[in-house]
Structure 1
């Protein structure tokens, strides 16, 4: 089971006195190979609501409890209510949500002039967030396979949430990396999905020019209690091994990458994807 360093139990909650938040050490969420091997995760017959309604992994429990506390402490720009959601008519069945407060109260996006724009420390970045916005740090145990450089990933709240549990996965913010998908960041995103028992936990990346609003490397993660059309779209294999597919019957073209799980297959998949970086990616 995933555990913090040097402890059998941890709390991802902030202390009562906000003056202590900056002095509190960021808790580690440490995970290993066995935490990524859950099987049989399926949508229930009745679509779930918030993640509390379904069995939770240690990752889900840590994220949801810490996120809920930050809501109660008023650290978000607005309090997320139940969103008006509709499945649009038509063959595709798009999921549409109305989130007026995000449109009005979110931080204005940065001006993006190039997909290769350099990091600008003067602009807003994740080194400028309040201490209370950090939930925990994702840390891989040494037993996990892989040749990619180990990176600690901060899990922080998105103060203008799209949905319940909306967080940002930020790889080592002090390195001041621009918003370009790197192998370590992609691996962290895929492993975050594998750490969750909720079928609607999503991780996505949008590039500069692909609606990214902050030029500081990050991925999004949140719970969406609805199946998406891409989950059931047919696909055509493009390579003999069946690792690369072309999605079909969707309004926009897309690729499906398949892997059996953590290990050499996943490392190869990550290298393949980051060698041909898409503007937007969801897993």
Structure 2
């Protein structure tokens, strides 16, 4: 159950004059900025609580889903996006994979690089200059609350820890936003279990099967900071509807299932569970291990947080060949009519296969994932 309540002073926000730490403006880019804060509820243990939160389907629209869509649509109506993504032509490529393509002649293929250069900085914080001049890009913030039910706190200061939700002015699809985890007003540099659990909670609370969260980790990325993206897709992405081959576990005995996506040009694993705390912990540890080894990979979180797809990529990304998470899922954007008209399934398959792991490397990855899953399940027993 969720409620909308306008209150003041019930959450431990940092005060405006809270000593030397608050006075370090170069590490406090949120100083003086107010926004709406969505506080996640903290259900009691044993009641789907944080010790093992689970997904429960609901028919009505969730509070977080309504907040995200209303804030994003408000920006769109005010003309603060570069284009109307709903007017872009969409088609399904003929063939067995049913890849989805979009024609967007206003598409900026460098928008992620520009975002990282303009918003993020090496000093582990969001650029203060950006925050001062682009306050309108902040839709709201998501943070842990102390009450059992989730709620919105209107027009308050940004909490010390949480997820900053920024609009993406170059949307790939409807509702496209950046999800930027931070702690003590500094950006996160690693994928830890707490952060990934919070990201998974967002998917759970949105509770909309069209909502998907993406993460890109390139070995050649120009930024060390961790951030996610999210968007709404009316139809399932091609990778989501393909058959899978079990690799480890099942829902009845282990509670977590690891599968390989069958007959896909990019070797892909999918992790599934209704125990989202266990699922988030496992995926976080896998990603942390890959991050430490400077491996390139992408994530797709779907089905309200109950599924996470892992797309490992070969180190050819060091030569500039890297697919985004939505491209790994089978969704491609083209900036010219000629490219859009000429693209074929053969061409897309060739592009995917060129950055896919070889058989031995993929086998090693599967073994790593199984070992981590076994370790976490053993710890919980």
Does the TM-score normalized on the shorter chain lie above 0.5?
yes
How big is the shift at 1:269? 4.2
Q: Secondary structure at the match of 1:193?
A: helix
Q: Is the 8 A contact 1:169 1:220 kept in 2?
A: yes
Task: Report 1:240-279 matches (<5 A).
Answer: 240=249, 241=254, 242-277=256-291, 279=297
User: Quick one: structure 1 residues 104 and 78, their matched pair in 2 at CA, closer, same or farther if it must change by over 3 Å?
Assistant: farther
User: Quick one: structure 1 residues 37 and 214, their matched pair in 2 at CA, closer, same or farther if it must change by over 3 Å?
Assistant: same
Tell me what 1:281 maps to. 299
Q: Secondary structure at the match of 1:155?
A: strand
1:152-190 CA distances to partner (integer Å, 9 max, x unpaired)? 111110121111110111011742445x54434432332
2:173 and 2:128 map into 1 onto residues whose CA distance is 20
5+ residue gaps in structure 1? 9-21, 42-54, 113-117, 145-149
Tell me what 1:59 maps to. 64
Tell me what 1:91 maps to. 96
Task: Report 1:182-193 matches (<5 A).
Answer: 182-193=192-203
Q: Is the 8 A contact 1:110 1:213 kept in 2?
A: no
Q: Secondary structure at the match of 2:61?
A: coil
1:91-134 CA distances to partner (integer Å, 9 max, x unpaired)? 1111111122123784754899xxxxx95259986872411111
Pick one of 248, 266, 281 that aligns with 1:239. 248
Task: Report 1:1-283 matches (<5 A).
Answer: 1-3=1-3, 7=7, 25-32=34-41, 33=43, 37-39=55-57, 55-103=60-108, 106=111, 109=114, 120-121=122-123, 128-129=130-131, 130-142=134-146, 151-172=161-182, 174-178=185-189, 181-209=191-219, 215-240=224-249, 241=254, 242-277=256-291, 279-283=297-301
User: Quick one: structure 1 residues 104 and 208, their matched pair in 2 at CA, closer, same or farther if it must change by over 3 Å?
Assistant: closer
Q: Is the 8 A contact 1:95 1:226 kept in 2?
A: no
1:14-57 CA distances to partner (integer Å, 9 max, x unpaired)? xxxxxxxx95622111123579633277xxxxxxxxxxxxx521
Q: Secondary structure at the match of 1:132?
A: helix
How many residues are matched?
Answer: 245
Q: Secondary structure at the match of 1:237?
A: strand
Larger Rg: 2
TM-score normalised according to structure 2 size? 0.55
User: Quick one: structure 1 residues 126 and 58, their matched pair in 2 at CA, closer, same or farther if it must change by over 3 Å?
Assistant: farther
TM-score normalised according to structure 1 size? 0.71
Instruction: Give the RMSD, CA atoms, in angstroms.
Output: 3.7
Structure with higher strand content? 2
5+ residue gaps in structure 2? 9-30, 149-159, 302-381
Mean alpha-carbon deviation: is it higher for 32-41 or for 243-252?
Answer: 32-41
Q: Secondary structure at the match of 2:290?
A: coil
Tell me what 1:49 maps to. none
